[in-house]
Structure 1
Amino acid sequence: MDPFNLKALLIAVLIFVPIEYLFALRPNQKILRKAFFNDLIYALFNGIPITLGLVAVVTLATSTVGTVVPSYVGSTVSSQPVWLQVIEIIVIADFGFYAAHRAFHAVPFLWRFHAVHHSIEELDWLAAHRVHPVDQVLTKSASFVPVFLLGFSSPAIALFGFIFHAHGLLLHANIRLNVGPLRWLIASPQFHHWHHAHERAAYDKNFAGQLSFIDILFGTMYLPGKAVPERYGVDSPIPPTYVEQLAYPLIPKGKTNEAPATNDA
């Protein structure tokens, strides 16, 4: 048992710290950057409530909606090669992720949870962990529930979970990575950094988690050449500490702080 994901965190440190040093997008950004220790708390403690919440949602979905899915669907899906299942899961899950992510930007109440993630002002692999548990549970549920309902095998789901997590760290990493034409198919750090950009042209763009072509399909792609954002963050004052950020979405605020990313960033 590793409730705090210490092994995964150590592996991430050993991989991403050297990569960010060698291929830094912003060479002057320090490892112990602003809010480093706050985001470390997220990395250590967020896993427990997110896992419990996701298990609860998946269990509820499979015990209700799942009962009307014919049994042959699951047996047919799970009998496919694992590699093919993983590809199918990535596509299905990312359409769900896109829909949920876009909703968190469009609905003011949901945006208050998601604004915690967008309050990041210096992006790196560790910053990927700064996500409000409610935000993460609902977004991950949109990705995972259809996958469980369709009966994909446990090894395929586990492999997807690993790829999803590793890719999420990469997207936030402080690295300059040229993926060439693949950037129109697969989400890259440049793609996701623009999603975090505190620049009007990039607001409400690049919602996909892994497959950037989904944003092309729905007209929400923003990827201006090789350019990268000048700055990240939001205008609304987000409290600086973990506990305050957990409480932030639930505390009534003035109307100026109620607007989603279209107005706030």
Structure 2
Amino acid sequence: MQLSDLVDLKALLVIALIFIPLEQLVPHHEEQKTLRRHWLNDVFYLLFNGIVIKIGLLSVVALMMVGLGYIVPGSVGAAVRSQPIWLQTIEVIILADIGFYLAHRTFHAVPFLWRFHAVHHSIEEMDWLAGHRVHPVDQILTKSASYLPLFALGFSPAAIVIYAVIYQWQSVLVHSNTRIGFGPLKWIFASPKFHHWHHANERQAYDKNFAGQLPFLDVIGGTLYMPDRMPSKYGTDDPVPQLYHEQLAYPFVAGKPLDDVSLPSAIGETQK
């Protein structure tokens, strides 16, 4: 096990020690148990997805950077890195979330890609573990869309690391079973309420709230949905199995023809 893996496990332990009590103190669904249904399945994702995603992400970004290296002048990176770290960090968050928004929306719009993303939407009880249930292919491609412009433009490693830490913590928060709100800042920073509606199995919420961190991107894209109440039902109508190994195979398995798989709700068939 490498040092980076140990650091990741330590960070996950700290996150668990914070969010498990927090979900007990300010829960959205008070009846939900700490060890909710299929929690062990999501622990498998937490423990085993990381290394696959890291290798895939580095491979995709490295491959695409070979081509971008001939397109983006070195002077661009020098100019970007000459900015203060705080300014770079703001730019990194905005650029990365634009990439995330576009990739996320594409995974909802393209039927074959949806089969990967449906694994994440199969969660029916939201909590701090829910954000880890993501198919590796989904995560690799979505993260590549976020990180590629950052590396291509030559942002400082420090700014990228700061963004990565913020993303990790916010991802856990927005999936958590909490009623934490950000007041008027909810239109700027993604909250549990914002992202819970993305997972809601209610027709009005289908294909909404694609941003990872910045809800105003959904305002611009016309995809924001955040009523005063919180959703009561989560999940998808797609026939996603509930075991880790079956979910990894789900997008590839033979059986239903692709045309018979539930299409995006924009076409009016099922929740995404």
142-151 or 173-182: bigger deviation: 173-182
Report the Cα offset of residue 165 of structure 1. 0.8
1:125 is aligned to 2:122: no
Matches of 1:140 and 1:25, distance apart in 2 = 29
* Residue in structure 1 matched with residue 238 of structure 2 by the alignment: 236
Aligned pair count reads 264
Q: Is the contact between residue 109 and residue 258 of structure 1 (CA under 8 Å) also seen in structure 2?
A: no
* Residue in structure 2 matched with residue 211 of structure 1 by the alignment: 214
Report the Cα offset of residue 258 of structure 1. 4.1
Mapping 1:170-249, distance limit 5 Å? 170-225=173-228, 227-249=229-251
* Residue in structure 2 matched with residue 250 of structure 1 by the alignment: 252
Report the Cα offset of residue 58 of structure 1. 1.2
Matches of 2:253 and 2:65, distance apart in 1 = 33
Matches of 2:270 and 2:36, distance apart in 1 = 24
Report the Cα offset of residue 211 of structure 1. 0.3
* Residue in structure 1 matched with residue 116 of structure 2 by the alignment: 113
Matches of 1:163 and 1:84, distance apart in 2 = 15
Report the Cα offset of residue 257 of structure 1. 2.3
Report the Cα offset of residue 261 of structure 1. 4.4
Matches of 1:38 and 1:178, distance apart in 2 = 28
TM-score normalised to structure 1 length:
0.97
- How far does the alpha carbon of each residue in 1:62-96 deviate from its partner, in whole angstroms, 9 at most, with x for none? 22112221111101111211111110001001111
1:21 to 24, 46, 53: 24
Matches of 2:255 and 2:119, distance apart in 1 = 14
Matches of 1:253 and 1:155, distance apart in 2 = 47
164-173 or 62-71: bigger deviation: 62-71
Matches of 2:247 and 2:149, distance apart in 1 = 30
1:33 is aligned to 2:36: yes
Matches of 1:258 and 1:175, distance apart in 2 = 30
Q: Is the contact between residue 197 and residue 232 of structure 1 (CA under 8 Å) also seen in structure 2?
A: yes
Q: Is the contact between residue 126 and residue 177 of structure 2 (CA under 8 Å) also seen in structure 1?
A: yes
What secondary structure sits across from 2:70 in the alignment? helix
The two structures, once aligned, show a CA RMSD in angstroms of 1.2
Q: Is the contact between residue 181 and residue 192 of structure 2 (CA under 8 Å) also seen in structure 1?
A: no
What secondary structure sits across from 2:250 in the alignment? helix
Mapping 1:4-153, distance limit 5 Å? 5-153=8-156
- How far does the alpha carbon of each residue in 1:230-251 deviate from its partner, in whole angstroms, 9 at most, with x for none? 1000112211111000000001
Matches of 2:130 and 2:173, distance apart in 1 = 11
Matches of 1:100 and 1:20, distance apart in 2 = 30
* Residue in structure 2 matched with residue 3 of structure 1 by the alignment: 5
Unaligned runs of 5+ in 1: none
Matches of 1:130 and 1:164, distance apart in 2 = 16
Q: Which amino acid aligns with 1:39?
A: D
Matches of 1:100 and 1:166, distance apart in 2 = 20
Q: Is the contact between residue 112 and residue 260 of structure 1 (CA under 8 Å) also seen in structure 2?
A: no
Matches of 2:5 and 2:253, distance apart in 1 = 29
233-242 or 200-209: bigger deviation: 233-242
* Residue in structure 1 matched with residue 270 of structure 2 by the alignment: 264
Q: Which amino acid aligns with 2:270?
A: D
Unaligned runs of 5+ in 2: none
Matches of 2:42 and 2:153, distance apart in 1 = 35
Q: Is the contact between residue 120 and residue 127 of structure 1 (CA under 8 Å) also seen in structure 2?
A: yes
TM-score normalised to structure 2 length:
0.94
